[in-house]
């Protein structure tokens, strides 16, 4: 499923020829994302390494999949969060940890974002992998 989600993103972004249009699309994705309530935006959910504030909440569902919810105080970052969460949400910890994450390079995100935004994107993925590692350990101990 993760690979399929990545391919859908790659195809979606292939439609846009100019980076300005890709940025606009990322912003739209951020506007469409549900996000978190103000009460849910707790300091312990902040992702370290992001220039903007990014809150990332994860829970292991009874189905064995990881539910991800997130938000950001910056609109472009919120769109990036929406992309990343969209790829990993409702996937198993095993699948998350085994995934070859390539969509960010394939659509040119890494090469067209500022260094600080690229670092923040990497920090988000790292945090999701950390959540998946913890949830995988919980599943094995049960």
Q: Which sequence positions are flagged as catalytic?
A: 50
CB atoms within 10 A of CB 97: 14
Q: Rounded CA gap, 21 and 5, in Å? A: 21
């Amino acid at each position: 499923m993760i690979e399929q989600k990545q391919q859908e993103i790659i195809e979606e972004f292939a439609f846009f020829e100019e980076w300005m249009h890709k940025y606009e699309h990322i912003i739209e994705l951020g506007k469409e994302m549900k996000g978190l309530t103000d009460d849910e935006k707790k300091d312990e959910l902040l992702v370290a390494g992001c220039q903007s504030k990014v809150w990332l909440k994860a829970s292991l569902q009874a189905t064995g999949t990881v539910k991800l919810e997130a938000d950001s105080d910056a609109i472009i970052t919120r769109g990036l969060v929406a992309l990343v969460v969209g790829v990993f949400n409702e996937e198993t910890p095993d699948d998350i940890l085994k995934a070859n994450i390539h969509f960010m390079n394939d659509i040119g995100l890494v090469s067209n974002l500022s260094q600080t935004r690229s670092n923040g994107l990497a920090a988000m993925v790292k945090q999701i992998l950390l959540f998946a590692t913890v949830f995988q350990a919980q599943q094995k101990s049960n």
